[in-house]
Structure 1
Amino acid sequence: MNEMKVETTRRKLLQGAGMAAGGVVAALAAPAFVRSAFASGDTINIGWVNARSGPLSAFAEADEYVLSLVNAALTGGVEIGGKTYAVNFVLKDTQSDPVTGSKVAKELISSDMVDIVMTSSTPETINPVADASEAGGVPCISTVAPWEAVYFGRGAKPGAPSPFKWTYHFSFGASDFAAVYADQWSKIETNKKVGVLLPNDADGNAIRAIMIPALEKAGFTVTDAGPYENGLTDFSAQISTFLDAGVEIVNSFPFPPDFPVFWRQAAQRGLAQRVKIMQVAKAGLFEPELEVLGELGNGIAAGAYWHRAFPFVSPVTGKTCSELADGFEEATGKPWSQQVGAQMALFDATIGALKASGNPKDKAAVAAALASLKVETATGIVDFTAGPVPNCAATGLVGTQWMMKEGGKFPFTLEVTSNVLVPDVPITAPLQPFELG
């Protein structure tokens, strides 16, 4: 079972149902007096697709908490075009499988009759869901994947008109990584030799095509270890390539389960002892991943698409980023996650588009509202009128570093070390060189 319908209600999400086997999310039945307040046809059905089980399930850890906040904020419905609508969420789990993602998205469209689809976090989740929505003529909004991997990765061509009518994506870009990294890496003295570990997938291919030339233009010598398949268990060849090249910076974009395998092997073969900067993306984004690595995680640098220090407010909930982070920790007992703000931003943009449409039951009107949407979210301003290409809006990215912290609530803390792309986000600590043992 991977579907639950959730209607707005005054009650909070049931505790303990959680993200258990199959990634099932707790459901709430609205009391009769709430249901009777809305006439038939006055309910907006929103499909929400995420990888709630499987190797990408860490990206769904904040889903239950965020949905509880949205539920509370939308109690009594949402007013659009002078009419009040109830909101019903239909959740689907991709099981971290693109084929399943396409299947459940089609179910949302054909069986659940949703008015709009939301999805997020990696092209493996977003692209098949967006393709199904495009084919089904249903508006879709997504976030948390390089926009190039979603736009060009689904068949759009540079300089050509957009082939997409129904699907919209807001996120950082592959070129943003290069800008953040060039700034972040300049804070430590190195030989400027960079080894990149990029898989043969939509993320890796987009990063390879865009980030490597940008880093070379910024004065770095880049050694690409070559495309590899996700799930690789022996990184000896890649490690040897980096050792032979004498790299002092390693930059990786692996599938989350693959990074610990690579990094432990790098320590066994002496690469981790030579590296001054270990930069990760896609993997190493969440504190529990660093806890598993222990000392090997101390000093790992990362890019952050959301941080508790972001100076933005969620219009749906009225909460600041620090309030969202604190609330997550209080509700779950777990360290705050980048996904708290990212998933809240997805709701902020979705509700903003529905309100702007004037009629949330008119799919063409909702798609038109997405195309002209400009709204503040928990991750900053989302402006689809500004590009960088049609159907896409750019959001910010900051440089960060994981540091072990004695006496803290959790073993690792994520410090902001570069704000070149989002100057309003404060620097919380200087970047430290990676040192093992």
Structure 2
Amino acid sequence: MNNGPRSAEPPVGPSRRTLLRATGLGVSGIALSSPLLAACKPGSGGSGAGSGSRTLRIGFVSPRTGPAAGFGEPDAYVLGLARKAFAKGLTIGGKKYTVKIIDKDGQSNPQRGSQVANDLINSDGVDLMLTTSTPETVNPVSDACEAAGVPCISTVVPWEAWYFGRGGKPGQKDAFRYTFHFCFGVEQFHQAYTHLWPQVDTNHKVGAMWPNDSDGNAIRTSLGPLLTKDGYTIVDPGAYTNGTNDYSSQIATFKSRDCEIFSTFPIPSDFATFWRQAAQQGFRPKIVQVAKTGLFPSQIEALGPLGIRIASGAYWTPSFPYISSLTGISSKQLADGYQSSAGKQWTQQLGASLALFDAAAAAFKDADDPTDKEAVAKAIRTLDVQTPVGRLQWGKGPNGNVVATPILGGQWVRAKSGSPYEVDFVVCENSSDPNVPIAARLRPYAS
């Protein structure tokens, strides 16, 4: 996608809006997050390298508890790899810096995410924030950083839900000064679905259950019309509220319209409730396409036999042919190491979370002064870094704040005989990254 002309670099001095925030006259509730106050915190880096402080602090916020806890499952392992890689510090511009990672649980809750982000900014004085997994965590953390003038890199939220969900406008090429993102978007979902679904013969009627949240609304607005242009009939009974307990009306609509494809973007608990009710009420489409849930083995195993042959997307697998520039380990080594250390099956969050730390190290190294938040934000705008999810190049994405990354279509199947695991994920299409090998063809859920 053409990024268009790059906007001017951010000015070095504080803006009028920043000064208003610092004096409590800015946006309600964020005055304590101002860059001027953050600069006064001990070791925040706001005083620059000349202060004698040589410690770079990285904040990391993810959901380890709550509805999105599956995303945080491999955090301990990834944080261990990152801390080991940073143990000898970073030498930048002839100066040696120690690196400290401070991690927090956003609890899958926007209010909690905002709170811990502000704690990291104001109490811990982080120089760079990293955050991942769902708009409920990532968007409030990003908003806190944008308000405070702290550079932030995030991932695992469809980029439209992150960019437009936070106030970016269509056609706006550079909505944010300090916050940056890498993730798949509607275009990648569209490619994956339109290459995956034709592998099974259907009537092209898609039952869509898209919630009334940032993810669901972004998908409804953008993906639905694209699928319609490709000849699919979208049957959308309307946005539903997260936490709904009875899906009988949606199921009845999908059955009456003979929907042979089902597409949804729910939180995990909602899908489990819906899918068990669908089985009880006799809704068995040929393709069951889930996103936001159904990403991890534990979520599929919890469904028992109902989880087998569910189609999902993959933003990383051990077959991705890329390495981590920070740790030097390959995707396969990342998965094998996790399985050996944690005693659990690999999850695709491993690659995305480690990629955040690859980007963090590269941003510090590329900055004129890694303790200067403006300099780090400026470096991210043109950052080019190798990660397990592929090469990330800011300045060449859909806008100046975003890098669009692949999502590949695949399916959950029973693990092969002799495997220590119950299920396995197989890649069935690779339209957004042909470097990743295809392992199988999509098989119908109900036949």
TM-score clears 0.5? yes
Question: Match for residue 44 of structure 2?
Answer: none
Which residue matches 1:5?
A: none
Root-mean-square deviation over aligned CA pairs: 1.2
TM-superposed deviation, 1:64:
0.5
1:161 deviates by 4.9
Match in the other structure for 2:385:
375
Give the aligned residue type for 1:358: D
**Cα shift readout 1:386-423 (whole Å, capped 9, x = no counterpart):** 02112111111111100012331200000000101110
The one of 394, 400, 412 aligned to 1:384: 394
Aligned residue for 2:325? 315
Report the equivalent of 1:118.
130
Give me the whole-angstrom Cα distance separating, in 2, the residues matched to 1:414 and 1:259.
19
Correspondent of 1:358 among 365, 368, 371: 368
Aligned match for 1:428, one of 432, 439, 447: 439
> What is the aligned partner in structure 1 of residue 251 from structure 2?
239
Partner of 1:229: 241
CA distance in 2, matches of 1:140, 1:88: 16
Q: Which runs of 5+ in 2 are unaligned?
A: 1-50
Aligned amino acid, residue 43 of structure 1: T
Which deviations, in whole Å up to 9, do the C-alpha atoms of 1:16-58 show, x marking residues without a partner? xxxxxxxxxxxxxxxxxxxxxxx95111001111112111111
CA distance in structure 1 between the partners assigned to 2:103 and 2:87 by the alignment: 19
Q: Of residues 314, 320, 337 in structure 2, which corresponds to 1:327?
A: 337
* Equivalent residue runs for 1:13-412 within 5 Å: 41-272=53-284, 275-405=285-415, 406-412=417-423
SS at match of 1:376: strand
Q: How big is the shift at 1:174?
A: 1.8
Structure-2 separation of matches of 1:257 and 1:82: 51
Distance 1:339 1:155 in 2: 27
What corresponds to 1:7 in structure 2? none
C-alpha distance in 2 between matches for 1:280 and 1:106: 33
Find the aligned partners of 1:296 and 1:144 in 2 and give their Cα distance. Answer: 26
Normalising by structure 2, we get a TM-score of 0.87
Give, in whole Å, the separation in 2 of the partners of 1:84 and 1:410: 44
Q: Counterpart of 1:292 in structure 2: which amino acid? A: A
Secondary structure, aligned partner of 1:246: coil
Q: Could you tell me how far apart the structure 2 residues matched to 1:336 and 1:185 are?
A: 26
Structure 2 residue identity aligned to 1:120: T
User: Structure 2 counterpart of 1:376, which letter?
Assistant: Q
Q: Which amino acid aligns with 2:83?
A: N
5+ long unaligned stretches in structure 1: 1-38
Distance in 1 between residues matched to 2:343 and 2:428, nearest whole Å: 26
The answer (yes or no) to whether the contact 1:401–1:416 under 8 Å persists in 2 is: yes
Residue identity opposite 1:269 in structure 2: Q
| Residues paired across the two proteins, number | 396
For 1:295 and 1:79, the matched residues in 2 are separated by 52
Q: Answer yes or no: is the 8 Å Cα contact 1:198–1:225 preserved in 2.
A: no
RCO higher in 1 or 2 (8 Å CA, sep ≥ 6)?
2
Distance 2:321 2:368 in 1: 30
In 2, Cα distance between equivalents of 1:329 and 1:397: 23
Separation in structure 2 between the aligned mates of residue 380 and residue 217 of structure 1, nearest angstrom: 30
Who is 1:16 aligned against? none
2:264 is aligned with what amino acid? S
Q: 1:250 is paired with a residue of what secondary structure?
A: strand
- Counterpart amino acid of 2:444? P
CA distance in 1, matches of 2:132, 2:172: 25
Q: Aligned partners of 2:365 and 2:247: how far apart in 1?
A: 50
1:430 deviates by 1.1
AA partner of residue 439 (structure 2): T
Q: CA deviation at 1:358?
A: 3.0
Residue 420 of structure 1 aligns with an amino acid whose one-letter code is: S
Aligned-partner Cα distance in 2 for 1:122–1:175: 18
- Percent identity over the alignment is 49
Q: Give the match's secondary structure for 1:418.
A: coil
Number of the residue aligned with 1:14: none
- Partners of 2:230 and 2:92 lie apart in 1 by 48
